[in-house]
Amino acid sequence: MRSYFALCAGAAAVTFALVSQGVAAADADSVPPSSLGATIATQGTAKGIPACASCHGAHGEGQPASGFPRLAGLGEAYFTAQLAAFADGSRPSPVMQPFAKMMSSGERAAVAEYFSSLPPPDGIRNSDTADPLTSDLGAWLATRGRWQQGLPACVQCHGSGGAGVGSVFPPLAGQPASYIEAQLHAWKDGKRAPGPMALMPTVAGKLSDADIDAVAAYYAEQAPASNASK
């Protein structure tokens, strides 16, 4: 076999590879990636990977009763990274590791593209892809942040409702809007000490004047809650 390959040029080797890998590999060559993704999802591959749908649901909706996660609507980059992590063992899973190892990078990209294009179940959407209404800007920044810009939501540190967390993260709820605005501008301008890990100068540096007005107005309207210290 070795001398056969040595004698024949690349074309013969490619043909052999396609034949030995069967239908799925041949498909990889002849159909667009989205169809390859759909084929693997619904039929599996000739190498013996079962249809993803058999565990993850016909529409990638998952099977909560069995603990199989939803795949529909996962971000493509996240999806590909998980398959790579299963394949290299850095994300251990006795079920997914062997499947991920058996997939070529083209096959992984194809299923990632396919599942990320499927609509998530009703009532669930990825908030990062939606644009905030201008009237919602303050609530949006407070509860979701702006990840495109690496800006976490205020609630992630200041707690639900801006109630404050422990002794390090002060409450925002019920502070005067003018006070909140002044503090944020002070950090932007380097006029307030940076505080723990310089978290607030980083946050404030990503806020425009309009953002500051909106988020300050939002927290000024929240009823002060008792400190949720742990």
When the beta carbons of 16 and 192 are compared against ligand HEC, the nearer one is 192
CB 164 within 8 A of CB 158: yes
When the beta carbons of 13 and 193 are compared against ligand HEC, the nearer one is 193
Taking CA atoms, 70 is separated from 35, 57, 66, 67, 110, in Å, by 20, 8, 11, 9, 17
- The reply to whether 154 sits in an annotated binding site is yes
Binding site for ligand HEC (CB under 6 A): 40, 49-50, 52, 54-56, 68-69, 71, 74, 79, 82-83, 93, 95-96, 99, 111, 141, 152, 154, 156-158, 168-170, 172, 180, 183-184, 195-196, 199-200, 203, 215
Question: How far apart are alpha carbons 206 and 141 in whole angstroms?
Answer: 11
Q: How far is the CB of 185 from ligand HEC (least distance, A)?
A: 10
Kindly state the tokens that stand for 32: 């667009």
Question: How far apart are alpha carbons 143 and 161 in whole angstroms?
Answer: 9
170, burial (CB in 10 Å: exposed 0-12, middle 13-18, buried 19+): middle
When the beta carbons of 14 and 48 are compared against ligand HEC, the nearer one is 48
Instruction: Give me the half-sphere count of Cα atoms (radius 13 Å) on the Cβ side of residue 152.
Output: 10
Q: How far is the CB of 15 from ligand HEC (least distance, A)?
A: 25
Q: How far is the CB of 43 from ligand HEC (least distance, A)?
A: 10
- The reply to whether 103 sits in an annotated binding site is no
Q: How far is the CB of 18 from ligand HEC (least distance, A)?
A: 20
- The reply to whether 8 sits in an annotated binding site is no
When the beta carbons of 4 and 189 are compared against ligand HEC, the nearer one is 189
Q: Tokens 């409702």 belong to which residue? A: 161
Find all residues with CB under 8 Å of 120, minimum gap 6, and list them.
70, 72, 73, 126
Q: How far is the CB of 226 from ligand HEC (least distance, A)?
A: 16
When the beta carbons of 79 and 118 are compared against ligand HEC, the nearer one is 79
Question: How far apart are alpha carbons 218 and 136 in whole angstroms?
Answer: 9
Residues belonging to the binding site for heme c are 52, 55-56, 96, 154, 157-158, 200
Residues belonging to the binding site are 52, 55-56, 96, 154, 157-158, 200
